[in-house]
Structure 1
Amino acid sequence: MNIAKDRILIFGAGVVGSIYALRLAQYGVDVTVLARGERLKDLQHHGLRYNDSGTIKHISIPTIEQLADDDIYDFILVPVRYDQAESALAVLKNNQSQTIVTLTNTVGYDAWLDLVGDRLLPGFPGAGGDLKNGVLYAQFSTEKHQGTIFGEIDGTQTERVTQLAQLFKLVDLHYDIQSNIQAFHISHTAIAIANKHFYTKDGIVDIDTARNEQTLLQIATAIKQNLRLVEQAHIPIIPAETKILTEWSDSQIISLYQQMLNDAFIMDAILGDHAVNQKAETLLLQEAFNQTLARQVY
């Protein structure tokens, strides 16, 4: 199959979906975005607007509001939050496309498999950014282990995995084919849910509180506790960059976060206006993480 002629659907035009749509479109890939509401209108009227080194540019990308069951794509990418994934896959349940790539946090796939079966190809995004006044501010990973992660649940190297890798290579996106994708997701969740200490009852903490050593100590403690639970469940901690945190002291982890919180881009991602939406995802992930590991241990 000619990878350059693959039909790709991005399900959702949020930050991550817009970033993948932008990169694919820039390389001439046949990409369509499913969007709704004001975001759909904005894309239709202005194209996908993005910041390019301080200059606002735009690119025209086909959009749809609804997906017909017989509108078939080679890959459907689903870059949504964990708390949105099940409802998104329910929409795709009857569509006849054969590969649905989820790019999100999770700890398991049972509910997703019930909806879309073996069409599911789990993954994790390798890009981030923000949408401000309809303009996309994108940042792509420059390291393989931080690129787009994906892999079959059983770890096999299938034709569709190879095809997706070729597509990402074509558009110059770093990627990593993961042979134990569930272990990766559980390991990543162990880190992600520690960030719950950045959230308050009503939203997110202010910058000073986020940088406070007491807040960061809570996060460091939670990370090490969560990773110990993963080890006790006999689940591999993946990748090595995550596993090494089990050997770090609290002060080393605090120092890492202090460096991260001095980066304006990371700061905006963690504490920006849109970050409040991550609170629901984090709390659901915390519950799923605890339940999953409890089943593994007992």
Structure 2
Amino acid sequence: MRILIYGAGVIGSIFAGKLAASGEDVTVLARGKRLEELRQNGIVLTLPGVNKNEIIPVKVIDHLTSDDLYDYVIVVMQRTQVDSVLPILSQNRSENIVFIVNTAAGYDKWAQAVGSERLMLGFPSAGGERVGGKVVYFIGKRLMRVFQTTTFGEYNGKKTERVNWLIKTFRRAGIPSVFCDDMDAWQKTHVAMVTSIGNALYQFECDNYRLAQSYDNVCFMIRGIKEGFSVLRKLGIKTKPKKLWYMKLPVWMISWIFKLLMGTKLAETVFAKHCIIAKPEMLCLQAEFDSLIAQSHLQTPAIDRLRKNILSQKNNRNI
């Protein structure tokens, strides 16, 4: 199978590197400085605290034409970038296009651009940061899977052979992956969580360790998440995956769990550093979730207070 990773940021680099290392035929679409880095050095991955690099050669292109055919085109980019590539993807004739993009706005626009029969969805449990030309990375395994596992699904919710192949291929590459029959609900649930977490971090200039020292602010963050889940329930949207059952526990109990989590290197990599580089995307996600709040007609005092943190960042021109 020929796989194109459309986007060479942190997640795209992790996916491309691991899939290529497992023997898949992988091409990466990149531009600018990143394009030259990949051409000269390949994908360079390293685990945090480990003085050993994984160097994986990959094929690289800088644009996609209508006649460039791949078995899977995996689009890995921030929400604010995806609209600009829809015309390109609409002209390309590859049969399977997988959007690994954070959104709470649904997929109708993407389905109109590429065709509902080609559209697949996913979301990663992976992250890290680019340091020079290499990616210091993690992949969601073991305990991390309590919070999130790399997940794939179909636009129509069915479990098909092509989604099964994708899941098995990612697993062979060392990326635990599962199926979801309602990716829209899954992603709306995810956005309900990450907007409150991100907005709590913005109060502390994205310093997760300082947030972890403030039990009261962690509690407020959990109240925001719970309000977000209430919005989804009011709209008839199930919270997914089911393993998030622990969010039904009392605020004080969940807060102690998240207080411990926020004081870790993992939280620094997964949440804090991402919030620093992805403020425009976080603003976009907040706006998308605000539309859901408006539709629900619910009062969300915790979300309203947390939202002020990212809006003050915008007004201070830190974005």
TM superposition score normalised by structure 2: 0.84
Q: 1:79 aligns with which of 76, 81, 97?
A: 76
Q: 2:26 aligns with which of 24, 27, 31?
A: 31
- Taking the aligned partners of 1:131 and 1:35, their CA distance within structure 2 comes to 14
Is the Cα contact below 8 Å between 2:231 and 2:296 reproduced in 1?
Answer: no
Q: Shift in Å at residue 123 of structure 1?
A: 1.1
Give 1:130's aligned amino acid.
E
Q: Shift in Å at residue 158 of structure 1?
A: 2.1
Q: Shift in Å at residue 9 of structure 1?
A: 0.4
Q: Shift in Å at residue 229 of structure 1?
A: 0.9
Report the RMSD for the aligned CA atoms in angstroms: 2.2
SS at match of 1:55: coil
- Taking the aligned partners of 2:108 and 2:62, their CA distance within structure 1 comes to 28
Q: Shift in Å at residue 160 of structure 1?
A: 1.7
Partner of 1:3: none
Partner of 2:43: 48
Q: Shift in Å at residue 30 of structure 1?
A: 0.2
SS at match of 2:278: helix
Residue pairs, 1:1-298, within 5 angstroms:
6-51=1-46, 53-107=50-104, 108-118=106-116, 119-143=118-142, 146-195=148-197, 196-199=199-202, 204-207=205-208, 209-211=210-212, 212-245=214-247, 247-272=248-273, 275-292=275-292, 294-295=294-295
Higher mean alpha-carbon deviation, 128-137 vs 28-37, is at: 128-137
Give 2:59's aligned amino acid.
P
- Taking the aligned partners of 1:42 and 1:166, their CA distance within structure 2 comes to 30
Is the Cα contact below 8 Å between 2:206 and 2:275 reproduced in 1?
Answer: no
Q: Shift in Å at residue 250 of structure 1?
A: 2.2
In structure 2, list runs of 5 or more residues that go unmatched. 299-319
Q: Aligned in 2, Cα 1:219/1:109: closer, same or farther, shift over 3 Å?
A: same
Give 1:174's aligned amino acid.
P
Q: Shift in Å at residue 37 of structure 1?
A: 0.7
- Taking the aligned partners of 1:269 and 1:156, their CA distance within structure 2 comes to 30
Superposed CA deviations along residues 108-146 of structure 1, whole A, max 9, x for unmatched, are: 112212211222101111211221112111211225673
Superposed CA deviations along residues 48-75 of structure 1, whole A, max 9, x for unmatched, are: 1121532124221111101111001111
Is the Cα contact below 8 Å between 2:127 and 2:269 reproduced in 1?
Answer: no
Give 1:254's aligned amino acid.
S
Give 1:197's aligned amino acid.
A
- Taking the aligned partners of 1:287 and 1:100, their CA distance within structure 2 comes to 26
SS at match of 1:194: helix
Is the Cα contact below 8 Å between 1:199 and 1:279 reproduced in 2?
Answer: no
Higher mean alpha-carbon deviation, 142-151 vs 122-131, is at: 142-151
Q: Aligned in 2, Cα 1:173/1:232: closer, same or farther, shift over 3 Å?
A: same
Give 1:82's aligned amino acid.
R
- Taking the aligned partners of 2:74 and 2:297, their CA distance within structure 1 comes to 33
Superposed CA deviations along residues 15-69 of structure 1, whole A, max 9, x for unmatched, are: 0000001111111110000001111111111121121532124221111101111
- Taking the aligned partners of 1:44 and 1:265, their CA distance within structure 2 comes to 30
SS at match of 2:226: helix
Identity percentage of aligned residues: 31
- Taking the aligned partners of 1:177 and 1:208, their CA distance within structure 2 comes to 33
Q: Aligned in 2, Cα 1:293/1:72: closer, same or farther, shift over 3 Å?
A: farther
Higher mean alpha-carbon deviation, 85-94 vs 31-40, is at: 85-94
Give 2:120's aligned amino acid.
L
- Taking the aligned partners of 2:174 and 2:205, their CA distance within structure 1 comes to 35
Superposed CA deviations along residues 134-175 of structure 1, whole A, max 9, x for unmatched, are: 211121122567332111122112232122123223323211
- Taking the aligned partners of 2:191 and 2:272, their CA distance within structure 1 comes to 19
Q: Shift in Å at residue 100 of structure 1?
A: 1.0
Q: Aligned in 2, Cα 1:204/1:280: closer, same or farther, shift over 3 Å?
A: farther
SS at match of 1:242: helix
Q: Aligned in 2, Cα 1:40/1:156: closer, same or farther, shift over 3 Å?
A: same
Q: Aligned in 2, Cα 1:279/1:166: closer, same or farther, shift over 3 Å?
A: same
Q: Shift in Å at residue 87 of structure 1?
A: 2.0
Q: Shift in Å at residue 208 of structure 1?
A: 5.0
Is the Cα contact below 8 Å between 2:89 and 2:114 reproduced in 1?
Answer: yes
Is the Cα contact below 8 Å between 1:233 and 1:297 reproduced in 2?
Answer: no
